[in-house]
Amino acid sequence: MFSASARTQYAIRAMTNLARRPNRTATAAELARTESIPAKYLEGIMARLKVTGLVESERGKNGGYRMATDPANISMLQIVEAIEGRIKPVGCLEHEYTCAIVDGCHPRSFWLGLKNTIDTYLSEKSLKEVSEG
Amino acid sequence: MFSASARTQYAIRAMTNLARRPNRTATAAELARTESIPAKYLEGIMARLKVTGLVESERGKNGGYRMATDPANISMLQIVEAIEGRIKPVGCLEHEYTCAIVDGCHPRSFWLGLKNTIDTYLSEKSLKEVSEG
DNA sequence: TAATAATCCTACTATTCCGATAGGAATAGA
DNA sequence: TCTATTCCTATCGGAATAGTAGGATTATTA
């Protein structure tokens, strides 16, 4: 429970690595090597980071990936959600105001509070901080 | 990511239900019915809650489960860990002081902070609060 | 003592998700 | 045209999860 997938951990390692190369590009293979990530697997991860606009890419020879933004302006929540989608501790929270599963679902606000706590932590941590940590 | 297993959700619903019956016992079948949990599945969950000392049980006719303690003295962290074991967002944190995976693992303190945030939230919420929420 | 109602125990199954790999198409530079 | 890269799609094995099945054990009660 509450464990981060390998995919998310890889994404974060790759991003912290990229963040330490201002303006320069790095190939997926290079990131994979220096961060001990399966190269082919990382390709798929970088794709997700790209569609969400966190990184930019250049194809062909001398291509690679580059930060799309100042790491100080990227929150860890953005990275996590780029990989996993919206954080949702329980299905219960999918509906706006009521729990569809059980009448008088007492734990609902407990789960809401948990989600809130996690979201807050993640959104207040910048990629810059983490990559320097 | 960070999603709670059905098992944990069931455990929490069952516990909040039990907590609202001071000193009285309820059978697994009864809890299952009122909380929409598969009855046989719940049996296994109650077993885990018992070995960790959160509930007591009585076998035979008129048997059932009962809170072992005042719900005000049970934290949600205790329930979660009874079901899932120690919360561990990343394998990285298994070793005390260094990350075994990558040299100079920058995200390590980020993950530590996250674990800490979650643990704190869960340990400060009592079953009593949640069952009344 | 027999019937009943409950916990407790063990095994099985089906499905889904995850991590990873494979092979190649498109693209850009030299 | 060769090479190095991103990009795309398909597949696979294994692990975990959710749930089911069947019965052994234990206590109450009539």
pLDDT at A72: 98
Residue where the block lists tokens 């290079």:
A30
Can you say how many angstroms the Cα of residue A65 is from the centroid of all Cα atoms in its chain?
A: 16
Contacts of B51 (CB under 8 A, 6+ apart): none
Query: Do residues B6 and B38 make contact, with C-beta atoms less than 8 angstroms apart?
Result: no
Report the alpha-carbon distance of residue B127 to residue B71 in Å, rounded. 5
Helix (H, G, I), strand (E, B) or coil at B40: helix
pLDDT digits (tens, 9 = 90+) for A17-69: 999 998 889 999 999 999 999 999 999 999 999 999 999 999 999 999 999 99
pLDDT at A94: 60
pLDDT at B85: 81
For chain B, say whether A133 makes contact (Cβ under 8 Å). Answer: yes
Among B97, B14, B94, B92, residue whose Cα is nearest residue B48: B14
- From B133's Cα to the closest Cα of chain A, the distance in A is 5
For chain A, say whether B130 makes contact (Cβ under 8 Å). Answer: yes
Boundaries of domain holding B94: 6-132
Tell me, yes or no, whether A66 lies in a domain.
yes
Q: What are phi and psi of B5, to 5 degrees?
A: -65, 160
pLDDT digits (tens, 9 = 90+) for B78-119: 999 999 987 766 776 666 556 666 666 788 899 999 999 999
Q: If you average pLDDT over every residue of chain A, what do you get?
A: 90
For chain A, say whether B29 makes contact (Cβ under 8 Å). Answer: no
Residue where the block lists tokens 């679902």:
A105
DSSP one-letter string for B73-84: G-BHHHHHHHHH
Tell me, yes or no, whether B1 lies in a domain.
no
What CATH number does residue A63 fall under? 1.10.10.10
The H or E element spanning position B100 is none
Query: Which of chain C's bases lie under 7 Å from a protein CB?
Result: 3-10, 18-23, 26-30
Into how many domains does chain A fold? 1
Tell me, yes or no, whether B19 lies in a domain.
yes
Residue A92 has pLDDT above 60, yes or no: yes
Tell me, yes or no, whether A1 lies in a domain.
no
pLDDT digits (tens, 9 = 90+) for B17-67: 999 998 889 999 999 999 999 999 999 999 999 999 999 999 999 999 999
Give the nearest nucleotide to A41, CA to C1'. Answer: C20
